[in-house]
Structure 1
Amino acid sequence: MSRVYRALVAVGDRAVPAKLRPLWEHEAGPKTVFFWAPAFKWALVAASLDDYRRPLDKVSTTQSATLAATGLIWTRYCLVIRPINYSLSLCNFMLGAANAYQCFRAYRFQNAMKH
């Protein structure tokens, strides 16, 4: 797989225009995992937002709480690693916030059902 990746990067090296070269060469740019991790992790955020359409009696508060905690913990970590990865930090923050809100919605629903 790394041979394919290196070949793709070599093509990109020749094709990237001068104006985009700083982004391309950045230590957290598209040539590194620091770029691709948040790019794919946004799918978790999208799935969390899609769960807002699910009936609240079907929402897993354990799953939502776990994703919220994970997102918020990793938000901090992304700001202390080198290179600092702001895009992954934003992605993790949004994952935490989306799931914290889902937990709040489910908790409020469960309390309303008790009364």
Structure 2
Amino acid sequence: MCEILQIFYPWLPSFAKVLWNHEAGPKTIFFWAPTFKWCLVIAGVADLRRPAEKLSTYQNTALFLTGLIWTRYSFVIRPINYNLASVNFIVSSIGMYQLSRKIKYESLKWRTAKIKEL
């Protein structure tokens, strides 16, 4: 695969060569890890249609907290990885939103049960 890429490298425009040779370019894990992590964002957006009673508190807490931790980490490592920061911030935001939906649902369910007891 590398030999094939080396054949096409001379034909790349100058801006593409800069991106290709960047410290966080497509030849490194700094590019591919966050790129594949965008699948978590797609799954999270798909979960927005799921009813609140079917949401997992533990899963969404984990997504929220790990998203925060990795967002911070992506600004500490060198080179600073903005792709990693953005994907983790969005994962964290989706986790927080889903947690708020679950908490609201559980609170409403608890209040409804209390009213029925009276």
Give the alignment's TM-score, normalised by structure 2.
0.87
Matches within 5 A, 1:1-115: 4=1, 6-7=2-3, 9-115=5-111
Count of paired positions: 111
Percent identical among aligned pairs is 46
Q: Quote the residue 2:114 is aligned against.
A: none
User: Please, which runs of 5 or more residues in structure 2 have no aligned partner?
Assistant: 112-118
Sort the Cα spacing of 1:77 and 1:106 in 2 relative to 1 into closer, same or farther, 3 A: same
User: Please, which runs of 5 or more residues in structure 1 have no aligned partner?
Assistant: none
1:48 is displaced (CA, Å) by 1.0
Return the alpha-carbon distance in structure 2 between the equivalents of residues 11 and 46 of structure 1: 34
* One-letter amino acid of the structure 2 residue matched with residue 43 of structure 1: C
Higher Cα Rg, which structure = 2
> After the TM superposition, which parts of structure 1 deviate over 2 Å for at least 4 consecutive aligned residues?
6-16
1:87 is displaced (CA, Å) by 0.6
- Kindly report the root-mean-square deviation, in angstroms, between the aligned alpha carbons of the 2 structures: 1.4
1:11 is displaced (CA, Å) by 4.3
Sort the Cα spacing of 1:51 and 1:26 in 2 relative to 1 into closer, same or farther, 3 A: same
Return the alpha-carbon distance in structure 1 between the equivalents of residues 44 and 54 of structure 2: 14
1:15 is displaced (CA, Å) by 3.9
* One-letter amino acid of the structure 2 residue matched with residue 63 of structure 1: Q
- Is 15-24 or 104-113 further displaced after alignment? 15-24
Give the alignment's TM-score, normalised by structure 1.
0.89
